[in-house]
């Protein structure tokens, strides 16, 4: 069989909604795209722990500390599920970690923004996890089996993240004038970066959309972004707060909300490494990795010693 | 080779060039496959995989990542290298013997209604 025949068979399976599994034949570009996307996604979960981890010790009550700790622990788990899925495509964990630590691989730019007040924990849960969930729900049906299964697991855990965030804001929105102001301020700062999470506009693309054809993705950036806007406009009313966009308006014809233009210069600046916290995040990851080296080595040495003891006993 | 994909979708910004050496061969912890029994009476089912220095650590890590919400009552771990998988390219020959034996299914047999449920 020629490569073209394999590609045809491959596409037929995708079209028939048959999942692709690790040992199946797949085009090189399909493998590469998945490795890049899944590992980037994993890195985002891992780096995403930093802005929230920063608030665990400062959360206002023991209950809130416990909740935040549980959420951050979930994100570590999400990173693991995704790294494992990427590993099935032939890239080693060490290689992926290396790419993150050297800045070769990207992670979601949203985590390059600072978390300045307690209200940010609410805004992150509601908006950032909320945006991530829309993407992840779509990815539960992605064509690569291990990725889809990781997503199903992740989605089960995510909804508490968004709900706890919204509840943080809800409590603040019913509090003192200062607390209300803090709530609105956090929403104002996180709204636009959250919209940027969906990536560049569809019209920015030049090539035909291979990712959609391969059903790695099933919705475009703009579709997901619109879905997010429509959802948040309703939810913010419950908080009695506003979204910082004067162009936000119901469009009867489209049956969607129109919204203002995203600052794409800011978007690309953060992607290229010039966001408020890019350096800080990467430094923190590198520091943790370096300081954890002795633990990884000691665990391996301990495991080997135990194995040798056992072998001696048998002999 | 197909044209390189440059359409950006949800949070995919591509890779930036440069940035560090290629991965140095480190002493990576071995990979383990994790199987979880969700409740008494059910089979262990593959849940995922993780790296751990030894079996004990694999079980502890599996508990932390796969059973945080009481998803399991029992955990099996096996080092991934010990798993032998069938080859999907040989699926045709491998499962062919089962294809033409319809008489293995109860619906193959036409019986009068009077027999009742059987
Ligand atoms: Fe997550
Ligand atoms: Fe989350």
- Closest ligand to C-alpha of residue A76 is 1
pLDDT digits (tens, 9 = 90+) for A139-161: 999 999 999 999 999 999 998 99
Domains of chain B: 6-86 (3.10.20.520)
Reported as a single tens digit per residue, the pLDDT across A267-311 is 999 999 999 999 999 999 999 999 999 999 999 999 999 989 988
Cα A65 to chain center, whole Å?
Answer: 22
Instruction: Give the integer Cα–Cα distance in Å for A177 and B102.
Output: 74
Computed over every residue of chain B, the mean pLDDT equals 82
pLDDT above 90: residue B86: no
| Residue bearing the bigger pLDDT, B19 or B74 | B74
Q: Whole-prediction pTM value?
A: 0.90
Among all ligands shown, which has an atom nearest to the Cα of A162? 2
Residue A12 at interface with chain B, using a CB cutoff of 8 Å: no
B31 DSSP assignment: E
CA A95-A84-B12 angle, to 5 degrees, is 70
Q: DSSP per residue over A252-284, as a string?
A: TTTTEEE-----HHHHHHIIIIISSSHHHHHHH
Nearest to A73 by CA among A93, A94, A92, A56: A56
- Could you give the CA distance from residue A98 to residue A129 in angstroms, rounded to a whole number? 26
- Structural contact between residues B60 and B95, judged by C-beta atoms closer than 8 angstroms: no
Provide the pLDDT for residue B92: 84
A210 touches chain B (CB under 8 A): yes
Direct distance between the N- and C-terminal alpha carbons of chain A, in angstroms, rounded to an integer: 52
State the virtual CA torsion across A58, A62, A66, A68 in degrees, nearest 10: -30
Give B 68-107 residues with CB within 8 A of chain A: 68-69, 85, 87-89
Angle at A18 between CA A16 and CA A20, to 5 degrees: 135
The sign of the CA dihedral A59, A63, A65, A71 is negative
pLDDT at A121: 98
pLDDT tens track for B2-41: 444 445 556 566 655 433 334 444 568 999 999 999 999 9
A73 touches chain B (CB under 8 A): yes
> What is the per-residue pLDDT for B10?
64
A57-107 per-position pLDDT tens digit: 999 999 999 999 999 999 999 999 999 999 999 999 999 999 999 999 999
The rounded distance, in Å, linking the Cα atoms of A278 and A112 is: 5
Per-residue pLDDT band at A315 (split at 50, 70, 90): confident
Residue A189 has pLDDT above 50, yes or no: yes
Per residue in A38-53, pLDDT (tens digit) is 999 999 999 999 999 9
For residue B24, count other CB atoms closer than 10 A to its CB.
8
The rounded radius of gyration (Å) of the Cα atoms in chain A is 22
Backbone φ and ψ of A48, nearest 5°? -60, -20
- Helix ranges (DSSP H) in chain A: 3-15, 28-47, 49-56, 62-87, 93-102, 119-123, 130-139, 145-173, 177-196, 210-213, 221-239, 264-269, 278-291, 293-314
Stronger pLDDT, A265 or A203, i.e. the higher one:
A265
Looking at CA atoms only, how far is residue A248 from chain B in angstroms? 22
Q: CB–CB of A94/B23 below 8 Å?
A: yes
Q: According to the model, what pLDDT value does residue A284 have?
A: 96
Which residues numbered 34-53 in A keep a CB inside 8 Å of some CB on B? 36-37, 40-41, 44
């Amino acid at each position: 069989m020629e490569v073209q025949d394999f590609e045809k068979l491959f596409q037929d399976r995708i079209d028939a909604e048959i999942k692709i599994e690790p040992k199946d034949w797949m085009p090189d570009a399909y493998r590469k795209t998945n490795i890049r996307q899944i590992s980037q996604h994993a890195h985002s979960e891992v780096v995403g722990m930093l802005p929230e981890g920063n608030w665990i010790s400062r959360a206002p009550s023991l209950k809130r500390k416990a909740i935040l700790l549980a959420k951050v622990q979930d994100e570590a788990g999400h990173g693991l599920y995704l790294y494992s899925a990427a590993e099935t495509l032939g890239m080693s964990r060490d290689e992926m970690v290396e790419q993150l630590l050297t800045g070769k691989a990207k992670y979601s730019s949203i985590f390059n923004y600072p978390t300045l007040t307690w209200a940010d924990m609410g805004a992150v849960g509601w908006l950032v996890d909320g945006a991530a969930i829309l993407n992840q729900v779509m990815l539960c049906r992605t064509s690569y089996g291990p990725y889809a299964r990781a997503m199903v697991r992740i989605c089960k855990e995510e909804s508490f993240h968004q709900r706890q965030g919204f509840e943080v804001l809800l409590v603040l929105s019913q509090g003192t004038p200062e607390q209300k102001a803090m709530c609105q301020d956090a929403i104002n700062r996180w709204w636009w970066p959250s919209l940027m999470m969906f990536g560049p506009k569809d019209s920015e693309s030049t090539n035909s959309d291979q990712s959609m054809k391969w059903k790695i993705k099933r919705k475009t950036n703009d579709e997901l972004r619109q879905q997010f806007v429509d959802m948040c406009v309703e939810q913010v009313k419950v908080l009695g707060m506003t979204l910082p966009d004067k162009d936000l308006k119901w469009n009867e014809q489209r049956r969607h909300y129109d919204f203002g233009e995203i600052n794409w210069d800011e978007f690309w600046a953060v992607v290229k490494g010039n966001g408020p916290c890019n350096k800080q995040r990467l430094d923190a990851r590198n520091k943790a990795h370096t300081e954890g080296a002795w633990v990884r080595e000691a665990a391996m040495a301990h495991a080997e010693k135990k194995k040798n003891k056992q072998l001696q006993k048998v002999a | 080779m197909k044209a390189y994909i440059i359409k950006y979708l949800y949070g995919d910004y591509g890779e930036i060039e440069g940035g560090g050496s290629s991965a140095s061969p480190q002493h990576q912890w071995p990979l383990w496959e994790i199987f979880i029994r969700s409740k008494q009476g059910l089979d262990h089912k593959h849940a995922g995989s993780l790296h751990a220095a030894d079996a004990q650590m694999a079980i502890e890590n599996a508990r932390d990542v796969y059973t945080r919400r009481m998803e399991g009552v029992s955990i099996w771990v096996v080092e991934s290298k010990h798993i032998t998988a069938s080859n999907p390219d040989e699926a045709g020959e491998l499962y062919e013997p089962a294809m033409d034996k319809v008489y293995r299914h109860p619906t193959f047999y036409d019986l009068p209604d009077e027999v009742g449920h059987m």
